[in-house]
Amino acid sequence: MRIDLSGRTALVTGSTQGIGAAIAAGLAAAGARVAVNGRDPGKTGAAADRLRADVPGADIVPIAADLATDQGTSALLDALPDVDVLINNLGIFGTKPALDITDDDWRRYFEVNVLTAVRLTRAYLPGMTSRGWGRVQYIASDSAIATPAEMIHYGTTKTALLGVSRGFAKAASGTGVTVNSVIAGPTHTGGVEDFVYELVDKDLPWEEAQRAFMREHRPTSLLERLIEPEEIANMVVYLSSPLASATTGGALRVDGGYTDAILP
Ligand SMILES: NC(=O)c1ccc[n+]([C@@H]2O[C@H](COP(=O)([O-])OP(=O)(O)OC[C@H]3O[C@@H](n4cnc5c(N)ncnc54)[C@H](OP(=O)(O)O)[C@@H]3O)[C@@H](O)[C@H]2O)c1
């Protein structure tokens, strides 16, 4: 399969590192003009420079904006009024005992993980439908379908994204725009290294810590290792392509078989 996204503009939210950076690289390698985003101008510019070095000839647009704020969202929409591919990747996570999660915590998680994606979909979907082509994706998580006891606020926001995705897919029906969510499993990112060390012995070297984490906290993984960000990006790039024209309203798993279920 040859994936050609030349002539398309893509936005990947929260893409200065981790899964977002891998998705941005994958889309750029397929020929798309890619907007990378984070809160800090220096970090966002550095991420854009890395992408240009990794993908020769890539057309990268750095946009520093805090998308959890109205001001940041307005700045982004001024800088980038239209996109063909919207990847709602931005998400925060962290552990907290269920009974200690405050109203402010719940609000913050829904604001960052759900409402940023809803706002951007509302802003960009009409342009896509009027042009007759577009791709919208939400990066969900295994936590969407197996609520983790140690972070029910996070899991619940990811469950919400599956409904948001299905709902906007219906809003785009018959237009040439597809809307899907990708259920990412435990992935080897910087954020996850911190998370792993919250749950296993901090003195273990990374390889052992990773294995202990999978054994003790993710025992159903069929992969028996963390997923690499590029493995998530491969699915996202495919779904962003014209080849995936008949896949919409779906929730696709890249979880290493971690979720012990046949569907979705
Ligand atoms: N890692 C996993 O194992 C895993 C598993 C399943 C699903 N996921 C999901 O995959 C997505 C990416 O996860 P990740 O682990 O790659 O994330 P990460 O390494 O923590 O990176 C988060 C990114 O978001 C940016 N960011 C944070 N707050 C922002 C805001 N308010 N406005 C704009 N940008 C902001 C950060 O940039 P700055 O710091 O520069 O602002 C950074 O680029 C998330 O939705 C996560 O829930 C991750």
125 and 219 in a single domain? The answer is no
Whether residue 201 is found in the same domain as residue 232: no
**141 is in which domain, residue-wise?**
9-187+227-254
Q: Closest ligand 1 atom to the C-alpha of 142?
A: 6
| Residue 260 within any structural domain of the chain | no
Given a contact cutoff of 8 angstroms between Cβ atoms, the answer to whether 187 and 19 are in contact is yes
Average confidence (pLDDT) over 113-119: 98
Q: Is the pLDDT of residue 263 over 90?
A: no
172 & 196 share domain: no
> Does residue 216 share a domain with residue 198?
yes
Mean pLDDT for 236-258 is: 98
95 vs 157, higher pLDDT: 157
What is residue 60's predicted lDDT score, i.e. its pLDDT? 98
Is residue 36 in some structural domain? yes
One domain for residues 192 and 87: no
Asked if residue 14 has its Cβ within 6 Å of ligand 1, the reply is yes
Residue 126 in domain: yes
- Dihedral sign for Cα 121, 124, 125, 126, please: positive
Query: What is the pLDDT at residue 190?
Result: 83
- Asked whether the predicted pLDDT for residue 236 surpasses 80, the reply is yes
Choice among 27-36, 84-93, 104-113, 183-192 with the minimum mean pLDDT: 183-192
Q: Are residues 37 and 104 in the same domain?
A: yes
| Span from the CA of 192 to the centroid of ligand 1 (angstroms) | 10
CA distance 51 to 24: 8
Distance 132 CA to ligand 1 centre (A): 30
Read off the pLDDT of residues 6-63 as tens digits, 9 standing for 90 and up: 999 999 999 999 999 999 999 999 999 999 999 999 999 999 999 999 999 999 999 9
Minimum CA distance residue for ligand 1 atom 44: 91
Q: Whose CA is nearest to atom 27 of ligand 1?
A: 14
Q: Annotated catalytic sites, by residue? A: 154
Q: Are residues 212 and 84 in the same domain?
A: no
Check pocket membership of 139 for ligand 1, CB cut-off 6 A.
yes
Residue 125 included in any domain: yes
- Whether 240 is in a domain gets the answer yes
